[in-house]
Amino acid sequence: MHCIDTSGWLDGWTRHYPRDVFPGVWDAIEEKVETGEIISSEEVYVELAKQDDDLHEWIKGRKQMLVAPEKPIQEIVAELLGKYPRLVDTLKNRSQADPFVIATAMFRKATVVTGELHGTPTRPRIPDVCDAEGVRCINFLQMLRKLGLTF
């Protein structure tokens, strides 16, 4: 199972595999969403709603993949923020979904998919926290390969 972060979706949809050029990628992704192999946090949907673009609309039509922040996920988020308070940039109101993505992956025993790179000790990013917590973390292309998707 793969839990995709906002930047992971943006890498796939906007930066590397736009739907108008790679429709087969998105047909295959949709199949994996339907089988439950691809999930995302509801918090990612909230972040994408701010952009109100084609990706947001696409995900809106596939809400079954969105995992609500149930109590166990909220508890994991609280633990993560206790350990890594700078994971969320409260000053810029950014990265709000990051702890929810990691917590959802931990709770569901999934691999995190993100476009983020490593941060610094004072400003950790998703890959840093995943490494520290023993959560597998890959990018969008690595996910396509791991799922055995070829085009």
The secondary structure of 64-97 as a DSSP string is GGEEP--HHHHHHHHHHHHH-GGGSBTTTTB-TT
The strand pair at 111-113 and 137-138 is best described as parallel
Q: Which residues of the chain have pLDDT under 50?
A: none
Tell which residue, 110, 113, 145, has the closest CA to residue 126. Answer: 113
Full residue range of the structural domain in which residue 33 is found: 2-146
Quote the pLDDT of residue 150.
81
Assess if residue 112 is contained within a domain. yes
CATH of the domain at 21: 3.40.50.1010
Domain tally for the chain? 1
For the segment 32-68, what is each residue's pLDDT rounded down to a tens digit?
A: 999 999 999 999 999 999 876 899 999 999 999 999 9
Assess if residue 59 is contained within a domain. yes
Quote the pLDDT of residue 73.
97
Quote the pLDDT of residue 32.
97
Quote the pLDDT of residue 151.
74
Tell which residue, 125, 93, 94, has the closest CA to residue 112. Answer: 125
Assess if residue 151 is contained within a domain. no
The β-bridge partners of 94 are: 89
Quote the pLDDT of residue 12.
96
- pTM to 2 decimal places: 0.94
Assess if residue 61 is contained within a domain. yes
Assess if residue 97 is contained within a domain. yes
Quote the pLDDT of residue 51.
79
Amino acid in the structure at residue 88: V
